[in-house]
Chains A and B, each alone.
Chain A
Amino acid sequence: MKRRDFLKIVGIASSATLLSSCGVEKGTEKLIPFLVPPDEDYIPGVAQYYSSTCTECPANCGVSVKVVDFNPIKLEGLEANPINRGALCLRGQSSIVRLYHPDRIKQPLKRGANGQFQPIGWDEAIQQVVQALKSARGQGKANVYLSGRTTGSLSRLLDNFAKDAEVERVPEYEPFAHANLREAYRLVFGRKEIPFYRIEDADFLLTVGVDLVETFVSPVSYAKQLSRAKDRENFRWLHFEPHASLTGFQADKRFIVKPGSEAYLVGFFLNYILTNGLNKKRIPPEITNALPKIDAGQAAEKTGLDADTLNKLAAQLAEARAPMVISGGVSTHQKNGLETAVLTALLQWALGLTDRLVDFARAENYDHVGSVADVQQLVKRLNADEIGVLFLARTNPVATLPAAIPFAQAMARASFKVALTDFLDETAEQCDLILPLSHSLESWGDAEPRKGLLNLIQPTVEPIFNTLSEGDILLAIADGYQGRPNVFSYQQWLLREWNRTYGEAFVDEFLKKGFYEAPAKAVRLSLNTRALTRFLKDAKLDVRPQGHILYAIPSLRMFDGRSKVLKLTSEIPDPLTTISYGEWITVSDETAERLKLKDKDEVAFQVNGNQLALPVKVQPGLNGDVSTIHWDQLERAFLDVDQRSGEILAVVSGGQMQKTGKKIAIPILSGSMEEAYERGIFPDHNGHGMKHHADVRETLYPPHEHPEYRWAMTIDLEKCIGCSACVAACYVENNVAIVGKEEHLIGREMSWIRIEPFYGKDRDREMNFMVMLCQQCCNAPCETVCPVYATMHNPEGLNAMVYNRCVGTRYCHNNCPYKVRRFNWFDHEWETPLDRMLNPDVFVRHKGIMEKCTFCVQRIRTARDVAKDEKRKIRDGEVIPACSQTCPTDAIVFGNLLDEQARVTKLAHSDRSYRVFEEIGTEPAVYYLRKKEIKDEA
């Protein structure tokens, strides 16, 4: 082709393109008004807040739902709620994704003749259930309702339903039913409950294996309490565990004990208190005689701690004004877990804790929750063909039960299986009929997570799909069964129920406040001497796990696996390992050395014919032959059941580990978890790296002026527990994209705030979390290299990122010493209806531009608007960024540094304050409060 021909063709083609693109731009938008305006208090584009309850896990924290233009866009902890007091965890923050999840079941489904699910209408679905119920009764079979934990009015409705529709309500199934703990309290006090532990009022806390701030019963509540307790100078917290957990690293001192030896540890403390006559409450001689006698020598031998330390600790425990002992988590999920729990309960009694700190009046409400033993009973009945219709509501036993219980096969024998669920999970897939449930943000209801505490659930949005609430479904089925017309909605039923139980005045206040706390009824405890003596005589403390031991630990991110569907929970890395997507197993330094393992090397782990092959992550602070795996990643074949209590045993012993030689790609987001010290990330113990010690480099640029505000943040590293709730809150608040595993593998995660674990020289005990976000530097290295002024210092001390100007050179990212800038390599899609949860006040960034933390500038803007309306300046505490708002330990404080009275100013000028990389002279606006000196050795 000649050059001229080429030019002609190009010319013609380009002119045609130009012409065809004309007119495309003017896709005129439409303005569609309301027919009738909505209620008076609705203002378009302005956020409204509704009180409700988080239903992502059984803790049922109170939430305040931010609704803009009829779309709930964010959950925040309800400030006044006594459980979470304004905070929310990672899962709670992520749970809004569940509401808009495109994979939710969108209408009732029925298994057709070809075995596939077909959509049907609600009336037909209810009709089918009613018919199935009747025909099963006709054949003399029992109809059974198995659900996840149910509390409050729904539980009462279920009782009515059971009567009306002749359905038997069997004990509820929760994988984390704390069966051993509850069984222990039954044996000791005759109360099958989990008390509320008032650790806020304790001054000497001793925790055995319990993952207080991760998943244990009500983690946000406990994290909040720990933070308040840490405010007191005399508070001390010792943690004992055989593995390495997030909670453990937060304690003042973490003791690594030999696997399976926790019962000896607690038993020793109990013996010490009793033999030295330090017990505040009497224990009858029958029990004392039946108690296993454990002296310091024996305890030391079993636990691997030294006898002097143990004696000293026991003495401190006895002397403490308000001691507290809790065991749970891995220490009660093993073969002698029940013994550990019983001895702990006795110790609590002996120390007099049961009068005040171990509170049964506000016990966690597990009234209807059974254990795996109850499920086994059900399996037996299913196998005997005794069950007709089997309802499975909000529970996934097929995926979560130990493989020894063949639930899937058994449930196939029920004549009709109905799932009430929101996702097509493993259990729903086996069912004949699926009734999709509305999200709690779409329905009316209440929850009673603790005795006497009623949390409101109210709808904040019209159901997004063709779903109904469980209450409505139950009412419809019951009415259908009785042949009555279905006139009552669950909302009406609830109102009637509330009115009847509490009176009309209550309802108004309840709706306004979002919760109701009934006065606590005092609980008189007494020892259940007979049962206890019998139990203690047969107690076997010695379990001595052999070989390589694997601990299945509940995941902070996925709980029992139910939060895995949220996607955001996978995007946010596990705080201890910084692994986001994929499965892994941790190994100790010792094992790594012995098997010559490095991160990502695959190992084969075998126990009794079961095998798993997973990449490893070397975890500092682990016992030699111990490995951990997250509960949701372990195959059910490895799990066993304690037949005495029905607790799932999560400790797999007798294993063998081998290196396979393969390397598996898993995204480990942190580059290094060790080189933080002596580099200015954390000041060393001599104070090097602190402000007054740093040799700060001068800047060549003129100083910035901040006439009215200088926004700043302080992060207390003593309080930060690495729970990553801030990360989740940031994702939701700022429309941060979820990019997936492939992008994470090449280091392109988008999080604006991240939690970095750093292990100190004493790798077993010293670990610090660094919360890293844009430092909003005064002399920002990113600003000076931007060729287009896309990032610049604003008059309020913020490092403003102007998306329109950005051309994507990424120089700023390259020049940022904190590595907090993120580049959009792609346009990110929010699949409908997920786009409805986008925050309208925050721009959705497109391909080719940088982004980073803005200190939630949209919240500053909102606060300024309110302040200007009232003709005043923004007050201290009026602007709370999303990360700070949700922090369960109140570690993050935000405010105006020019205001001398502001909390942030006081903290920034405190003795513990320092800034990361102080010496390079960037003058960050984020101040860190370093950890307090490690208190005296025990």
Chain B
Amino acid sequence: MKEKIIPIGIVGYFLLMVALIGVLGWYWQNFQKTPVQPIEFPHNVHVGKLKLDCQFCHKFPSKSKFATVPSVKLCVDCHKTAATDRPEVKKLLKYWEDQVPIEWLKVYSFRKNANVNFSHKPHIRAGVDCSTCHGRVDQMITARKTRNINMGFCVSCHRQERAPTDCWTCHK
């Protein structure tokens, strides 16, 4: 019997490992995609209901590489008076009162070593709709990744639209 304990232990250990890795993988796939933001900002209300233009808050995609998140002041400009009774808006006003910036979590990013020199500007100039990459934000509460932005995705679109596919177009 004693001789069997060791092999069973080893097999058990490996099974446990496989299970753990599987569970963790599933967990990241499904939960980490929607980051828990410091304020639960409802995109569906602002974009879907109020029909605000994306660039009303994300000011720079047509001018710069970065779309940028809005300054706290921009939020407060409206929310000084609008919907001040909501708990999430109260959170926002507290940030403003304390003059502390909100630490949003990034939803889309490239790996550092992917060496991607992505710029929003040429895409907006070419008339690419924001939802092409960012999905139907008007139907989301907190923005989450709806597709993996990898090289395959970029290149297939670039080919389709006859945009340049030279390496140095996207890689710096």
Contact = CB atoms under 8 A, between A and B. Distances in A.
Interface of A: 8, 11-12, 15, 18-19, 22-23, 26, 28-37, 43-46, 792, 794-796, 798, 800, 802-804, 841-843, 846, 854, 857-858, 861, 865, 868-869
B104 A31 contact: yes
Nearest to B104: A31
B80 interface: no
Q: Which of B104, B109, B167 has the most CB of A within 10 A?
A: B167
A35 B72 contact: yes
Contact of B106 (A30, A43, A802, A803): A30
Interface in B38-59: none
Contacts of A8: 10
A46 B168 CA distance: 19
B16 to A, nearest CB: 9
Given A842-B172, A865-B119, 14 more contacts: A28-B105, A29-B105, A31-B103, A32-B103, A36-B71, A37-B74, A44-B60, A46-B63, A798-B168, A800-B167, A802-B171, A804-B113, A861-B117, A865-B122
Interface in B95-113: 96, 99-106, 109, 113
Given A35-B72, A869-B125, A843 B104 contact: no
Contacts of B96: 35
B152 to A, nearest CB: 14
A31 B72 CA distance: 12
A904 to B, nearest CB: 20
Interface residues of B, number: 47
Interface stretch (B20-28, B131-139, B153-161): B20-28
A44 B35 contact: no
B91 interface: no
B72 A26 contact: no
Contacts of B172: 841-843, 857-858
A33 B69 contact: yes
Nearest to B18: A15
Contacts of A33: 68-72, 101-102, 104
B98 to A, nearest CB: 10
B14 A15 contact: yes
A872 to B, nearest CB: 14
A802 B167 contact: yes
Interface SS majority for chain A: loop
Given A15-B17, A803-B171, A30 B71 contact: no
A19 B64 CA distance: 40
Contact of A794 (B13, B17, B114, B167): B167
A37 B32 CA distance: 30
A30 B103 contact: yes
A95 B70 CA distance: 35
A291 B153 CA distance: 85
B24 A23 contact: yes
Contacts of A37: 71, 73-74
A356 B156 CA distance: 67
B147 interface: no
Contacts of B73: 34-37
Contacts of B81: none
B79 interface: no
Q: Give the top 8 A-B pairs by smallest Cβ distance, nearest first.
A: A29-B106, A34-B71, A31-B104, A45-B65, A37-B71, A33-B69, A15-B17, A802-B167
Contacts of B17: 15, 18-19
A22 B24 contact: yes
B21 A843 contact: no
Given A800-B166, A804-B113, A43 B13 contact: no
B20 A792 contact: no
Contacts of B102: 32-33
Contacts of A45: 64-66
A168 to B, nearest CB: 48
A780 to B, nearest CB: 14
B90 interface: no
Contacts of A11: 10, 14
B12 to A, nearest CB: 12
Q: Which of B24, B69, B168 has the most CB of A within 10 A?
A: B168
B101 A34 contact: yes
A846 B172 CA distance: 14
A528 B71 CA distance: 69
B28 to A, nearest CB: 7
B144 interface: no
B30 interface: no
Contacts of A792: 167
B103 to A, nearest CB: 5
Given A8-B10, A22-B21, A28-B105, A43 B167 contact: no
B94 to A, nearest CB: 13
Given A15-B17, A35-B71, A30 B104 contact: yes
Contact of A28 (B10, B35, B66, B115): B35
Nearest to A32: B101
Q: Which of A29, A31, A841 has the most CB of B within 10 A?
A: A31
B121 A865 contact: yes
A868 B122 contact: yes
B97 to A, nearest CB: 11
Contacts of A804: 113-115, 171
A31 B68 CA distance: 8
A18 B18 CA distance: 10
A913 B141 CA distance: 64
A35 B21 contact: no
29 contacts: A8-B10, A11-B10, A26-B32, A29-B105, A29-B106, A30-B103, A30-B105, A31-B69, A31-B105, A33-B72, A33-B101, A34-B71, A37-B71, A37-B74, A43-B60, A43-B63, A45-B64, A45-B66, A46-B63, A46-B64, A795-B164, A798-B168, A800-B168, A803-B115, A804-B171, A841-B117, A843-B115, A854-B168, A865-B122
Given A31-B69, A35-B99, A46-B64, A857 B168 contact: yes
Contacts of B24: 22-23
Nearest to B17: A15
B64 A43 contact: yes
Contact of A19 (B21, B99, B121, B171): B21
Contacts of A31: 69, 103-106
Contacts of A795: 164, 166
Contacts of B99: 35
A899 to B, nearest CB: 20
A82 B105 CA distance: 49
Nearest to A804: B115
B170 to A, nearest CB: 10
Nearest to A789: B167
Contacts of B103: 30-32
Given A19-B20, A35-B99, A804-B114, A794 B14 contact: no
Contacts of B113: 804, 846
Contact of A44 (B13, B68, B101, B167): B68
B117 to A, nearest CB: 7
